[in-house]
């Protein structure tokens, strides 16, 4: 067990014995100790998932586990990350659950460990964290790659001759490279190569301009677009729609818009990630760390114990089952596109 985990656990045990543990924080020789879970999520722009799904899921899971919880966003800006962390730490943290932005969380890990507070990297790898709780992003990329290859084959297009664009996501997100590697390796093994490739952009308008420029450079030829997530895919689809073009577009996160695009035939797949499961897994790790126990892990990623959370591919073939399972609101997804939903059994 790391020194940070040991200090935090011993301090908490002493406080429990004396009845002094509170939700705001208590000063000890090891630093501020609390039963509060302090959480920092990255932003609200690069993907809608953080506010739509992660925040409510983490808040619910932490409270169900008996924690007070404070969830803050570092609005997509690494320079603001430290200020957000300082505010949380000043009010007391028993454990920190951090989603990194371009390495901004690394010094926060050091500060937390100095105070005897264990750190769980949430959703993205984070150097120095005690544990990582995340989806298998390389496998998510492989699922996306397979869906592109299968869509091309279904349309009678030879993968090696197809016009496939690669559109990445937020470069500050460490999982972006993992997803890309899984997707590109899978497509390459089937003969697909990038017809055009560019990284994600800071805004939807910038991304739309970049994609439009790429299309213009290739006379509008497009068969498929590997888009890293549903937010990126939505921008790609809007550009294709404006030009009267269609293509096999991937996505990730099973957002409301992503599912709507899939049902309308504008997106071939998205990836369902059950954020409640990820949040619950992080809460379970937090509980064990606070009480000095060694959490179970599925393996390691770059030397950090890794708790892997499952994900699944959603396509037109199984979207009805996914929505009917209650994972998301079918009525919200189908509002205004009832005919398309009915055609898929919704």
Least Cα distance to 123 among 176, 85, 161 occurs for 176
Looking at the structure, tell me whether residues 107 and 234 fall in a common domain.
no
pLDDT at 66: 80
| Residue span of the structural domain in which 320 resides | 137-273+316-343
Looking at the structure, tell me whether residues 305 and 263 fall in a common domain.
no
* Cα 246 off chain centre by: 27
Long-range contacts of 332-339 (CB under 8 A, 24+ apart): 332/256, 333/256, 333/259, 333/260, 333/263, 334/263, 337/260, 337/263, 337/264
pLDDT at 45: 65
The span from the CA of 41 to the CA of 74, in Å, is 6
Looking at the structure, tell me whether residues 41 and 176 fall in a common domain.
no
Looking at the structure, tell me whether residues 246 and 268 fall in a common domain.
yes
**DSSP character at residue 159:** G
Looking at the structure, tell me whether residues 197 and 335 fall in a common domain.
yes
Total domains present in the chain = 2
Looking at the structure, tell me whether residues 62 and 192 fall in a common domain.
no
pLDDT at 47: 65
Looking at the structure, tell me whether residues 155 and 95 fall in a common domain.
no
Looking at the structure, tell me whether residues 230 and 293 fall in a common domain.
no
pLDDT at 77: 78
**DSSP character at residue 23:** S
- Residue listed under structure tokens 């169900």: 64
- Name every residue whose Cβ is closer than 8 Å to that of residue 335 and which is 6 or more positions away in sequence: none
Are 235 and 208 in contact by the 8 Å Cβ rule? The answer is yes
Looking at the structure, tell me whether residues 206 and 233 fall in a common domain.
yes
- The angle subtended at Cα 98 by Cα 94 and Cα 99, nearest 5°, is 165
The span from the CA of 151 to the CA of 193, in Å, is 15
The span from the CA of 292 to the CA of 182, in Å, is 36
The span from the CA of 174 to the CA of 151, in Å, is 28
Computed over its alpha carbons, how large is the radius of gyration of the chain? 22
Phi first, then psi: give them for residue 48, nearest 5 degrees: -75, -10
Q: Which helix (H) or strand (E) holds 259?
A: helix 256-263
What's the token pair of residue 191?
């003969």
**Partners of 134 in beta bridges:** 308
pLDDT at 176: 87
Looking at the structure, tell me whether residues 117 and 260 fall in a common domain.
no
Are 41 and 70 in contact by the 8 Å Cβ rule? The answer is no
- Residue listed under structure tokens 């630093």: 31
Query: pLDDT tens, 181-236?
Result: 999 999 999 999 998 988 877 789 999 999 999 999 999 999 999 999 999 999 99
What's the token pair of residue 317?
């073939």
- Residue listed under structure tokens 């004396």: 18
Indicate which CATH number applies to the domain containing 119. Answer: 3.40.50.2300
Q: Helix H segments across 273-337?
A: 275-290, 319-324, 330-334
The span from the CA of 252 to the CA of 269, in Å, is 8
Looking at the structure, tell me whether residues 92 and 180 fall in a common domain.
no
Q: Is the dihedral of CA 227, 232, 233, 235 positive or negative?
A: negative
What's the token pair of residue 73?
């966003």
The span from the CA of 238 to the CA of 276, in Å, is 30
Query: What is the mean pLDDT, run by run of 10 residues, along the chain of 346 residues?
Result: 42 31 38 74 73 84 85 84 95 94 93 96 94 95 97 94 92 84 96 88 89 95 96 96 97 94 97 89 86 89 93 95 88 95 91
The span from the CA of 187 to the CA of 148, in Å, is 8
pLDDT at 44: 66
Looking at the structure, tell me whether residues 61 and 71 fall in a common domain.
yes
Backbone conformation region of residue 271, classed left if phi is above 0, alpha if psi is from -120 to 50, else beta: beta
Strands (E), 53-92: 68-73
The two beta strands, 311-314 and 270-273, are: antiparallel
The span from the CA of 237 to the CA of 235, in Å, is 5
């Amino acid at each position: 067990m790391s020194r940070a985990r040991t200090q935090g656990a011993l301090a908490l045990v002493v406080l429990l014995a004396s009845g002094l543990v509170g939700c705001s924080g208590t000063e000890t020789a090891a630093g501020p100790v609390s039963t509060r879970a302090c959480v920092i999520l990255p932003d609200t722009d690069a993907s809608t998932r953080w506010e739509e799904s992660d925040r409510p899921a983490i808040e619910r899971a932490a409270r169900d586990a008996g924690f007070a919880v404070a969830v803050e966003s570092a609005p997509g800006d690494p320079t603001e990350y430290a200020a957000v962390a300082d505010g949380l730490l000043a009010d007391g943290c028993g454990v920190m659950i951090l989603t990194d932005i371009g390495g901004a969380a690394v010094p926060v890990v050091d500060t937390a460990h100095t105070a005897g507070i264990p750190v769980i990297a949430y959703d993205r790898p984070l150097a120095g964290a005690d544990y990582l709780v995340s989806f298998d992003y390389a496998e998510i990329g492989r699922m996306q790659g397979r869906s592109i290859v299968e869509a091309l084959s279904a349309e009678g297009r030879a993968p090696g001759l197809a016009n496939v664009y690669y559109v990445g996501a937020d470069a500050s997100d460490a999982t972006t490279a993992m997803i890309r590697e899984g997707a590109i390796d899978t497509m390459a093994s089937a003969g697909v190569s990038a017809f055009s490739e560019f990284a994600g952009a800071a805004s939807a308008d910038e991304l739309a301009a970049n994609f439009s420029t790429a299309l213009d450079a290739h006379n509008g030829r497009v068969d498929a677009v590997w888009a890293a997530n549903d937010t990126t895919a939505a921008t790609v689809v809007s550009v294709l729609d404006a030009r009267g073009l269609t293509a096999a577009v991937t996505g990730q996160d099973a957002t409301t818009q992503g599912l709507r695009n899939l049902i309308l035939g504008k997106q071939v797949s998205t990836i369902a990630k059950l954020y409640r499961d990820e949040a619950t897994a992080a809460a379970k790790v937090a509980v064990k760390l606070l009480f000095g126990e060694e959490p179970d892990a599925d393996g390691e990623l770059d030397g950090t114990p890794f708790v892997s959370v499952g994900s699944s591919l959603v396509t037109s073939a199984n979207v009805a089952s996914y929505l009917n399972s209650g994972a998301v609101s079918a009525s919200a997804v189908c509002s205004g596109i009832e005919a398309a939903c009915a055609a898929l059994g919704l």
